């Protein structure tokens, strides 16, 4: 139904009335530009927070030991709480339902050598369950398995940066590393969204490290993730109960804050989640506000345009224009201008955001960008608004008797 004549008529009207066209186009382009920029900056803020809290699983809990600060049951303060393998068993039995992944941990800094390249790295003796705790992602090979634990295998999974440091571009998978004089085979390479530090860890089977570096069955601390179906309050109740039970088991004063330390990420998660919610609401509010302002702007201009053209429309009607052709002409003009201007505003916005990139990182704005569906949606809303804004006055203009329109000065 493409009517070249009709479009020629519209192009002529638009190009011969440059100020009018520019004015309405500018309103739309500016609204979309603002919308894109605001949304982009808002998303940048969101990205910063996501990155900040993405380093570990959000439902993780860490259990550390320390020294008692209060005398209790005849024991003096200053006693060191040492976790052992029976603590692992104890926690596992008491909280079977609540715990999703669970691993004891022994960690120490060790000298690591590969063919003349050497460096100190933190080596952690863990269970395979530790991988999801750290949000580590295997990129080559595999992580540790329970078979490794059982066999006390001398194997390691190394961070991406460990591989880079020691092996350069050659790849470390299958090679043997010398760690404190003992040879370990590299079975896997992982990366970690937590950043550089988390990618300089070396993971070895818990039993291997314990047997080699700890007297008897001592260990350093535990890491676990709770069942993600629990809400924040349930998670906090869980970690409180865990603390109480461990204090009981180790004869620690219930009021002692130092000896048994349980760090539950849910607490921070709750703050972050409510902060993100507020941020999202603010972004949404500003976005909608900008769009509404744009819609009001284009509506005003369309009303003004039709008013200004009343006489012209009267002439056209006297010369044989049907009401339908009048409405069609004004609406096509309106849609054409809003679509074109909306698209250019969108493009300017997207390119500005792309140009900004990560230059605003110190203001907590990381990778400001907008999802395509958001901007396309916004443009469609404005085009629809432009159509309606054009339709109402156009319809009214088409109803005016030509004689009234002709007398309009």
Partner 1 sequence: MIKIEKLHKSYPIGKDSLHVLKGLDLHIKEGEFVSIMGSSGSGKSTLLNIVGLLDGHDEGNYYLNGQKIENLDEKKAAILRNKFLGFVFQSFNLITYKTAVENIALPLYYQGMGRKERQKIAMQYLDKVGLKDRANHLPSELSGGEKQRVAVARALATKPKVILADEPTGALDSKTSHAVMELLKEINREGMTVFVITHEEDIAEQTDRIVRLKDGVIISDEKVNKSVNV
Is residue 1 part of the contact set for partner 1 (CB under 8 A)? no
Give every CB contact of residue 245 below 8 A, 6+ residues apart in sequence. 90, 94
| 171 φ/ψ sector (left φ>0, alpha ψ -120 to 50, else beta) | left
Radius of gyration for the chain, computed over Cα atoms and rounded to the nearest angstrom: 34
Residue choice 1, 2, 16, 332 for contact with partner 1 (CB under 8 A):
16
What is the C-alpha to C-alpha distance for residues 174 and 177, in angstroms, rounded to an integer? 10
Q: With CB under 8 A, what is the number of residues at the site for partner 1?
A: 27
> Is 55 one of the binding residues for partner 1 (CB under 8 A)?
no
Nearest distance, CB of residue 339 and partner 1, angstroms: 23
The piece of 74-82, 338-346, 360-368, 397-405 that touches partner 1 (CB under 8 A) is 397-405
Q: Which stretch binds partner 1 (CB under 8 A): 9-17, 91-99, 168-176, 257-265?
A: 9-17
Nearer to partner 1, 46 or 309 (CB): 309
Site string for partner 1, 302-341 (x = CB under 8 A): ---------xx-xxxxxxxxxxxx----------------
Cβ proximity to partner 1, 250 vs 309, nearer residue? 309
Q: How far is the CB of 46 from partner 1 (least distance, A)?
A: 49
The DSSP call for residue 363 is G
User: Do residues 292 and 385 touch, judged by C-beta distance below 8 A?
Assistant: no
Q: Choose the stretch contacting partner 1; rule: CB under 8 A; options: 5-13, 133-141, 218-226, 239-247.
A: 5-13
Phi and psi, residue 86, nearest 5°: -70, -25
Q: 258-292 in b/e burial notation, b at 16+ Cβ within 10 A?
A: bbbebebbbeebbebeeeeeeeeeebeebbeebbe
How near is the Cβ of 2 to partner 1 at its closest, in Å? 15
Q: How far apart are CA 233 and CA 238, in angstroms?
A: 9
Angle at which helices 4-16 and 18-53 pack, to 10 degrees?
A: 90
* Residue 8 engages partner 1 in binding (rule: CB under 8 A): yes
Give the interface with partner 1 as residue ranges (CB under 8 A).
5, 8-9, 12-13, 16-17, 311-312, 314-325, 398-399, 401-403, 406
């Amino acid at each position: 139904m493409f009517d070249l004549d009709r479009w020629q008529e519209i192009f002529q009207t638009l190009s011969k009335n440059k100020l009018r066209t520019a004015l309405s186009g500018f309103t739309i382009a500016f609204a979309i530009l603002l919308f894109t920029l605001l949304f982009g900056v808002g998303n940048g803020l969101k990205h910063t927070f996501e990155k900040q809290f993405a380093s570990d699983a959000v439902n993780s809990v860490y259990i550390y030991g320390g020294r008692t600060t209060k005398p209790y049951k005849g024991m003096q303060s200053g006693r060191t709480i040492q976790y052992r393998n029976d603590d692992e068993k104890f926690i596992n039995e008491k909280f079977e339902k609540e715990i999703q992944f669970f691993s004891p941990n022994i960690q120490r800094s060790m000298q690591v050598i590969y063919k003349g390249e050497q460096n100190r790295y933190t080596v952690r003796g863990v269970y395979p369950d530790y991988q999801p705790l750290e949000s580590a992602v295997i990129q080559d090979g595999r992580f540790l398995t329970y078979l490794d634990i059982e066999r006390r295998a001398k194997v390691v999974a190394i961070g991406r940066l460990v591989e880079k440091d020691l092996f350069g571009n050659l790849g470390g998978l299958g090679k043997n590393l010398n760690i404190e004089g003992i040879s370990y085979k590299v079975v896997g390479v992982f990366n970690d969204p937590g950043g550089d530090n988390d990618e300089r860890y070396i993971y070895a089977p818990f039993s291997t490290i314990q047997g080699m570096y700890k007297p008897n069955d001592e260990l350093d601390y535990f890491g676990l993730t709770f069942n993600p179906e629990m809400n924040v309050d349930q998670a906090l109740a869980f970690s409180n109960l865990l603390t109480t039970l461990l204090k009981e088991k180790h004869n620690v004063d219930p009021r002692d804050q130092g000896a048994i330390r349980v760090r539950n990420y849910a607490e921070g998660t709750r703050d972050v989640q409510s902060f993100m919610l507020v941020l999202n609401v603010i972004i949404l509010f500003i976005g909608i506000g900008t769009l509404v302002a744009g819609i009001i702007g284009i509506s005003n201009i369309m009303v003004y345009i039709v008013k200004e053209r009343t006489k012209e429309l009267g002439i056209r009607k006297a010369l044989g224009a049907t009401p339908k052709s009048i409405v069609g002409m004004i609406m096509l003009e309106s849609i054409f201008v809003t679509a074109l201007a909306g698209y250019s505003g969108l493009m300017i916005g997207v390119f500005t955001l792309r140009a900004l990139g990560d230059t605003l990182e110190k203001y907590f704005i990381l990778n400001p960008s907008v999802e395509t569906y958001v901007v396309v949606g916004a443009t469609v809303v404005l085009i629809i608004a432009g159509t309606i804004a054009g339709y109402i006055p156009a319809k009214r203009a088409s109803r005016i008797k030509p004689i009234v329109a002709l007398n309009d000065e």
